[in-house]
């Protein structure tokens, strides 16, 4: 006896779809592992070097104001070093 109205997936179709998805997943996982093993991903996304600038002390007296002034004088805000860093970053692209 023939069925005229069939609905849904057959078992074979379901197994075929799961198999194809498993093959694609394994291939992607293998590529992902190789890229991390070679260090390709981690070295290309390395953060730039950050220059640490000391904080000025809290100012409540004239003596504190002198300390804050000395701290600011010791901090060099050299724009040429910033430009050199930007040129290096641009060259790395």
Tens of pLDDT, residues 64-87: 888 777 777 776 665 555 677 777
Q: Which two tokens stand for residue 61?
A: 């007296």
Break the chain into its structural domains and give their ranges: 9-46, 49-93
User: Do the Cβ atoms of 72 and 56 come closer than 8 Å?
Assistant: yes
The answer to whether 75 and 81 are in contact (CB under 8 A) is: no
Residues in the chain, how many? Answer: 93
Q: Whole-prediction pTM value? A: 0.37
Cα separation, 31 vs 25, whole angstroms: 10
Model confidence over 9-24: pLDDT tens digits? 788 899 999 999 999 9
């Amino acid at each position: 006896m023939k069925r005229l109205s069939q609905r849904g997936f057959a078992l074979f179709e379901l197994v075929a779809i799961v198999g194809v998805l498993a093959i694609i997943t394994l291939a992607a996982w293998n590529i992902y592992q190789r890229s991390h093993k070679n260090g390709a991903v981690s070295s290309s996304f390395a953060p730039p070097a950050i220059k640490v600038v000391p904080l000025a002390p809290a100012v409540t007296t004239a003596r504190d104001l002198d300390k804050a002034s000395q701290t600011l004088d010791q901090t060099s805000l050299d724009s040429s070093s910033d430009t050199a860093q930007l040129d290096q970053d641009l060259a790395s692209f």
